Amino acid sequence: MQYVKLATVGEVKHGEKKKILINDKAILLLNVGGLYYAFDNRCPHMGGLLSGGDLEGTTLTCPRHGAKFDVRTGKSVGNAKLAFISVKVGDATKLPLKVEGTDILVGLD
Ligand code: FES
């Protein structure tokens, strides 16, 4: 696994998120309480763009069908809703991340 620079500390403030393209891969960087988290920007359900979702506390909601994910783990914590049907979804793809100095680095295969 190779770590590449995703952003600089302070670029994404507490409670904010940002989509960043690296090697044609869209990565979602979030800051919750001063801790950073990175995800594949595509929802595991049907590929909704998580960067367009709402972040409330540690919960990220997919804008497409409303599935909810805990950003600390990527675990699914709320089903998607299609019309009146509730659908269980998989976990979001959390990416390894580390901070070195002022650089936020993401691990990519
Ligand atoms: S694509 Fe995200 S909930 Fe359906």
Question: Which atom number of ligand 1 is nearest to the Cα of residue 46?
Answer: 1
How do residues 44-100 score in pLDDT, each as one tens digit?
Answer: 999 999 999 999 999 999 999 999 999 999 999 999 999 999 999 999 999 999 999
The band of 6, judged by pLDDT with boundaries at 50, 70 and 90, is very high
Contact 94, 39 (CB under 8 A): yes
* Whole-number pLDDT of residue 8: 97
Check if CATH label 2.102.10.10 holds for domain 2-108. Answer: yes
Provide the residue ranges of all domains of the chain, joining segments of one domain with +: 2-108
Name every protein residue with a CB atom under 6 angstroms from any ligand 1 atom. Answer: 43, 45-48, 62, 64-67, 80, 89
21 CA to middle of ligand 1, Å? 21
pLDDT value of residue 57? 96
Nearest CA to ligand 1 atom 3: 65
Q: What is this structure's pTM?
A: 0.95
Strand ranges in the chain using DSSP code E only, listed in sequence order: 2-8, 17-22, 25-32, 35-40, 54-56, 59-61, 68-70, 76-78, 80-82, 85-87, 94-95, 97-100, 103-108
**In DSSP terms, which residues pair with 56 in a beta bridge?**
59
Residue 98 identity (one-letter amino acid): K
Q: Is the pLDDT of residue 23 over 90?
A: no
Residue 109 in this model has a pLDDT that exceeds 90: no
